[in-house]
A and B are shown apart, each in its own frame.
Chain A
Amino acid sequence: MTSPISVTNSSTIQKNPRVGLFVPCYIDMIFPEVGIATLQLLERFGLDMHFPLNQTCCGQPMSNSGDEANAAAAENLFVKNFRSYDYIVGPAGSCVKQVRCHFDTIEQTDDVRHVRQHTYELVEFLHDILQVDSFPWAEFRHSVALHNSCSSIRGLGIAKPSEIMGEPFDKTASLLSKVKGLVIVPVDRPDDCCGFGGTFCVTDEAVSARMGLDKVHDHLRHGAEYVVSPDMSCLMHQQGIARRADLDLKYIHVAQVLNGGPF
């Protein structure tokens, strides 16, 4: 799956860009530390960071259920909030995929096109745009299972999907490899879906839970202490299952690891 609108990519970042921070609704309410880590991390690179206070949601829950009519208001508001920024960065693969790929039913004004083309997920922003080669402030002496979400892999191209033949690459792993002490453990099914799927996890609850439990066991089997992902929604689902099953795994967002906190 590729974005129908190709993302602008400059190897030299535009001089002193204005960067809008996109904090997904569930991160705002449940995992604010991920938003904090993202902001602090980007500030370390001297970026002119802004947080539009009137942002609400990217519209994904409605859009993913096919309800374009009810998604439109959220989508238009998103564009309104972020249209004046050179880059829009959010610590959430599925939300960024929504913006790049599924903002296609609202009228394609210049603003909409601009926002769609300049919205980045955090890892791809760090890897492709900033091209960060070290995180000297970060240290994470733990064994880690890396979970890239399906949206990030197949929607945003953050890593080569295992079912596609070609040169392997993984932008998240590439960044994490620069963190002192961090060991990524190999797992059996690195890119088999964990079963979150947005509303799927309540409409198809048994299947979702089974998929999540299989994922948790895979991580445990390979001795992971932490599960790290650029997508907190997947982790929220996996963490819920692990806790309910009384399994000892800790879940943390890649922003927190790369920033060195908050934990």
Chain B
Amino acid sequence: MSNAKKAEPAAAAELFILHDQVHEPMHDRFLWATMQRRDAQAAAIPEWEELRELASKIKEHTLTHLDHYLEEFEANATKRGAHVHWAMDAAEHNAIVYSILESHGVKELIKSKSMLQEECQMTPFLENRGIKVIESDLGERIQQLDDQPPSHIVFPSIHKTRQDVAQLFARKIGTDPNDDDPHFLTEVMRNNARPRFLAAGAGMTGGNFAVAETGTFMVCTNEGNADIGASVPSLHIASIGIEKLVPRVEDMGVFLRLLARSAEGEPLTQYSSHFTGPRKGGELHIVFVDNGRSRRLGMPDFWHSLKCIRCGACMNTCPVYRRSGGLSYGATYSGPIGVILDPTFDEFKYSELPFHSTLCGSCSDVCPVKIDISDQIFKWRRVMAKKGYLPLVKRLAFAAAGHAFGHPEEFRLMEEVGAPALDYAPDFLLYNHSLNPWGRERQLPEPAKQTFREWYLANRSEHGND
């Protein structure tokens, strides 16, 4: 049982919503607009649903033969001059990265976006050992300056207004707090980052895909920051989760047609870069990371989550995520994919996450690799209930309700007790004795003067006891 404090998404979401009349509506609006762009892109491709099915099957095949494809990738990448490392967990990843940097005398590192590096908490690890780490992606940099993790895997600072960013830059970089024009703020970032690229001893990236056939890994960005980081410093280190493998070059046609359309409603990201061995005059290190992935592969109900290509479409479509903001999940991965991944990192800490959903199912529908996200959320609820992680009051309520619902006479008895019948009504009313949560935002429904059953007995009584 973990000692970590339980993440409380409902309470955190409430703070996000109540914060003011600006942040949550903006967050919801932007992500909904992104969804609409995604829908428009998808509608323009007649074979869209077929592409999803192909992507899903390619990933399922790859994962069920993952050892083979990892070995094939390693052989091909090594042949081209890359160094391939293997890290069992986050600690080992960080140690490997540090050792490479240290042996090259790197004091300053510039990196592009990597959820895996975030997962490994690489930045604090390196900074504690005297290596300066600079995020080059605008959204990640904003979050780094604000000492916050990214809130969305594609749009890390989407929960912030332009005023928030302007104020932050003013505090940390010394720019005009009143100039909140996104063009100005982007230019600030450009001018701030550029000298850092030129001074950095190493560039780090993640990897969106790793192609076994040629030993190529891919990095997709809009800013081109990953490419600057890979092409200027002579040392390039890429952190790649073992589940990122795809077998063939031609498979990339399927994934690239799905990725940016799903993530942001564009046909591609501005830059889709393919790295096969080190560049001329450079050195390339690839660090494959397990960190629980091989174990997850063995979970019958949850291994499909490994198909994830980190597009974020599930977050954009999720009505709960849009109102909550990614930070409310208290984990590296938020939104629907976070709900099904995070409990594999810490079941107790993230035991509330599966309930931070209405099970509407739209996440499963937008997932480009057809992960059954919503069904997995449901299954996690069963796990949490079995493990006893449901709040006590809920367990007691269910026990009582369960018994009554299994025994008609008892159920009838509850019903007959007029207005207090609401106390024994379906669980959603039963859950909280004072009925306050329901009553706070909604008017209470009134119990009917005559139940259907009573009406039936009075009006269709010739049927008697069916």
Chain A residues engaging chain B, CB cutoff 8 angstroms: 1, 23, 25-33, 35-36, 39, 50-57, 59, 61-62, 64-74, 76-77, 102, 105, 150, 153-155, 161-166, 189, 191-193, 195-212, 214, 236-237, 239-241, 243-244
Q: In the complex, A109→B288 CA distance in Å? A: 47
- Within 8 Å by CB of B10, from A105, A150, A204, lies A204
Asked if B185 is at the interface (CB within 8 A of a chain A CB), the reply is no
Minimum CB–CB distance for B461 against chain A, Å: 11
Known: A29-B447, A39-B456, A163-B317; 10 extra A-B contacts, CB below 8 A, are A1-B364, A25-B411, A25-B426, A30-B447, A36-B455, A165-B49, A166-B49, A197-B358, A199-B427, A202-B438
Give B417-460 interface residues, CB cut-off 8 Å to A.
Answer: 421, 425-432, 437-438, 440-448, 450-457, 460
Quick check: A66 and B361 within 8 Å, CB to CB?
no
Closest 7 CB pairs of A and B: A73-B406, A240-B442, A197-B358, A70-B402, A66-B381, A61-B427, A66-B385
Given A56-B411, A195-B319, A210-B323, check contact A203 B438 (CB 8 Å).
no
Stretch at the interface among B12-20, B67-75, B156-164, B244-252: B12-20
B 310-327 to A, binary, CB cutoff 8 A, 1 in contact else 0 = 000000010110011000
Given A27-B452, A202-B428, check contact A65 B390 (CB 8 Å).
yes
Minimum CB–CB distance for A59 against chain B, Å: 6
Quick check: A203 and B443 within 8 Å, CB to CB?
no
Q: Which residue of B lies closest to A166 (CB)?
A: B49
Taking CB atoms, residues of chain B closer than 8 Å to A200 are: 355, 357-358
Quick check: B405 and A240 within 8 Å, CB to CB?
no
Q: In the complex, A200→B407 CA distance in Å? A: 26
Minimum CB–CB distance for A167 against chain B, Å: 11
Q: In the complex, A30→B419 CA distance in Å? A: 11
Quick check: A73 and B408 within 8 Å, CB to CB?
no
Quick check: A163 and B385 within 8 Å, CB to CB?
no
Given A165-B42, A165-B43, A204-B355, check contact A53 B10 (CB 8 Å).
no
Minimum CB–CB distance for B33 against chain A, Å: 11
Q: In the complex, A237→B355 CA distance in Å? A: 18
Chain B residues engaging chain A, CB cutoff 8 angstroms: 9-10, 13-14, 17-18, 24, 28, 32, 35, 39, 42-43, 45, 48-49, 317, 319-320, 323-324, 354-362, 364-366, 372, 374-375, 378, 380-386, 390, 394-395, 398-399, 401-408, 411, 415, 421, 425-432, 437-438, 440-448, 450-457, 460, 463, 465-466
Given A65-B381, A203-B355, A209-B441, check contact A193 B408 (CB 8 Å).
no
Q: In the complex, A114→B395 CA distance in Å? A: 31
Q: Which residue of A lies closest to B46 (CB)?
A: A165
Taking CB atoms, residues of chain A closer than 8 Å to B445 are: 30, 236, 239-240
Q: In the complex, A241→B62 CA distance in Å? A: 48
Taking CB atoms, residues of chain B closer than 8 Å to A67 are: 385, 390, 395, 398, 402
Quick check: B466 and A56 within 8 Å, CB to CB?
no
Quick check: B425 and A29 within 8 Å, CB to CB?
yes
The prevalent SS among residues of B at the interface is helix
Quick check: B465 and A56 within 8 Å, CB to CB?
no
Q: In the complex, A193→B32 CA distance in Å? A: 13
- Within 8 Å by CB of B453, from A53, A64, A153, A212, lies A53
Given A1-B374, A66-B385, A71-B402, check contact A193 B451 (CB 8 Å).
no
Quick check: B385 and A65 within 8 Å, CB to CB?
yes
13 interchain pairs, CB-CB under 8 A:
A1-B375, A28-B451, A51-B460, A56-B404, A57-B405, A61-B427, A65-B427, A74-B406, A77-B408, A150-B358, A154-B360, A203-B437, A204-B9
Taking CB atoms, residues of chain B closer than 8 Å to A55 are: 408
Q: Which residue of A lies closest to B43 (CB)?
A: A165
Quick check: A244 and B365 within 8 Å, CB to CB?
no
Listed residue (B362, B399, B437) with the most chain A CB atoms within 10 angstroms of its CB: B362
Quick check: B320 and A207 within 8 Å, CB to CB?
yes
Given A65-B390, A241-B442, check contact A207 B324 (CB 8 Å).
yes
Quick check: A61 and B401 within 8 Å, CB to CB?
yes
Quick check: B443 and A36 within 8 Å, CB to CB?
no
Quick check: B13 and A29 within 8 Å, CB to CB?
no
Q: In the complex, A195→B359 CA distance in Å? A: 10
Q: In the complex, A199→B427 CA distance in Å? A: 7
Q: In the complex, A62→B70 CA distance in Å? A: 43
Q: In the complex, A33→B445 CA distance in Å? A: 14
Listed residue (B375, B430, B455) with the most chain A CB atoms within 10 angstroms of its CB: B455
Quick check: B441 and A66 within 8 Å, CB to CB?
no
